[in-house]
Amino acid sequence: MQPSPAMREYLAEIYRLQEDSPTVSTTSLAERLGVSAPAIPRMLKRLKSAGYVKHIPYQGVELAELGREEALRELRRHRVLEVFLVDIMGFRWDEVHEQADELGKGLNDTIAERMAEMTGFPTRCPHGEPIPDKDRKLPQMNDFCLINLAVGYKGTISRVRTNEPERLQYFASLGLMPGVSFEIVGRAPFNGPMRLRVERDEIVLGVELVKAIWVS
């Protein structure tokens, strides 16, 4: 069976959550999707019956191979649409995630591929996240979370891993966006704030913001 738009949304979100954890709990899925906790088991039952997810006792769910394929197809549509909204329609990067969620419900592969063509077949979304190709293969990523790096490290921001508009606006105001070069010039002990040099400016970031930045 072809997944409904709601099923596609769940599969894509499970994929995103599995990037940080092997299994996904109903609680984390409800928080990410902004739906009530009782709604999650009903949808997961449908996804399991269709062969898209597997239940792991006492841990949560994980994508089956069929679910992973559909999740990557949905991520391609979503991220290509985000690029289209920024490059062609002039939206800011902090506006596009929610817009793409709404518009993506009616998006098919034919329209998504025309959008990809119009934007030069992008391999990254505006936030730097990789875009799966038409064969649902992801480009190779060789980046690291900024929080794991030491004073003196110089690199380039590869992606900013948050969809929260307020945080994205704040990062943009500091010039912290994919492609920007930086140096770690200070770090407080015990997971304290980190000090970065970006061009001629020095920026201090708290640990929660540091966790959202991935670099190469």
Pick the CATH number of 1-139 from 1.10.10.10, 2.40.30.20, 1.10.260.40, 3.10.620.30: 1.10.10.10
- Which residue, 86, 81, 107, 82, is CA-closest to 8? 107
Domain boundaries, the chain: 1-139, 144-215
CATH top-level class of 144-215: mainly beta
Tokens of 192: 């304290």
**pLDDT tens digits, 169-184:** 999 999 999 999 999 9
Summary mean pLDDT of the chain? 93
Q: The tokens 């970031």 sit on which residue?
A: 205
Q: Do domains 1-139 and 144-215 have the same CATH topology?
A: no
Alpha carbons within 13 angstroms on the beta-carbon side of residue 150 total: 0
pTM for this one?
A: 0.90
Q: Is the per-residue pLDDT at 1 higher than 80?
A: no
Return d(Cα 65, Cα 60) in angstroms, integer: 16
Mean pLDDT over 2-24 rounds to: 91
The neighbour count for residue 76, using CB atoms within 10 Å, is: 23
Of all residues in the chain, the percent with pLDDT exceeding 70 is 100
Of all residues in the chain, the percent with pLDDT exceeding 90 is 75
